[in-house]
Chains A and B, each alone.
Chain A
Amino acid sequence: DVKVTQSSRYLVKRTGEKVFLECVQDMDHENMFWYRQDPGLGLRLIYFSYDVKMKEKGDIPEGYSVSREKKERFSLILESASTNQTSMYLCASSAGGTYNEQFFGPGTRLTVL
């Protein structure tokens, strides 16, 4: 089975802190994605990566950055956390190709105080 793991299930941070969210997949997938999920807004794509060291902005990249130094690991960084970044963060991965489904991690619920 594909496994996507995220470093924390719950995280509480203070405004202005730098926050790292880690995601690891064990299926040698080329593509990795970071989403945030908010009630009534569905999933919104923050960033994605289609190869090591390659990244592209999604729909809501402001206030976030990412890092992919190894194929299996994709990190989301909040440079200076703000209260409006309180959300559920979901990581996903998929094999390369047009038709492949994404596999999701369990999510990290981040609260910024």
Chain B
Amino acid sequence: AQSVAQPEDQVNVAEGNPLTVKCTYSVSGNPYLFWYVQYPNRGLQFLLKYITGDNLVKGSYGFEAEFNKSQTSFHLKKPSALVSDSALYFCAVRDKVGGSSNTGKLIFGQGTTLQVKP
């Protein structure tokens, strides 16, 4: 079965420092991977996705993610964290095709809280 794991419940980083939020996946076939962010009392916002091609994917708000097939990882990164980046981050993988083939069902990780301190 497809699955995704976020091994850290919380990540703390000082403003201006680089940040990494970890994600590992388990899929059969090609992985289609996504990152979302959730600010307090808001819905999820799409940040970026990996479908194929370059292993470094650039997304919104200066975030990027590195796809590593050998380590089955898709870590989210940012070179210089901002206090406003503090939020809940979710990694997701597209579910294996079943039923209708184009539904784009996603399986989400449990989320990682990012705390950026001034």
Contact = CB atoms under 8 A, between A and B. Distances in A.
B104 A94 contact: yes
B22 interface: no
B106 A98 contact: no
Contacts of B43: 4, 90, 92, 104-107
A61 B99 CA distance: 16
B100 interface: yes
B42 A99 contact: no
B102 interface: yes
B38 to A, nearest CB: 8
Contacts of B51: 99
B102 A101 contact: no
Contact of B103 (A31, A103, A106): A31
B32 A56 contact: no
B102 A96 contact: yes
Nearest to B6: A42
Number of chain A interface residues as a range:
20 to 34
Interface in A1-32: 4, 30-31
Interface of B: 9, 32, 34, 36, 41-46, 49, 51, 90, 94, 97, 99-106, 108-111
Given A48-B105, A101-B34, 18 more contacts: A31-B103, A42-B109, A43-B44, A43-B90, A43-B108, A45-B105, A92-B43, A94-B104, A96-B104, A98-B32, A98-B101, A99-B32, A99-B104, A102-B46, A102-B104, A102-B106, A104-B36, A106-B42
Interface of A: 4, 30-31, 33, 40-43, 45, 48, 50-51, 54, 56, 58, 90, 92, 94, 96-107
15 contacts: A4-B43, A31-B104, A40-B9, A41-B110, A48-B105, A90-B44, A94-B104, A97-B102, A97-B104, A99-B51, A102-B44, A102-B46, A102-B104, A104-B43, A107-B43
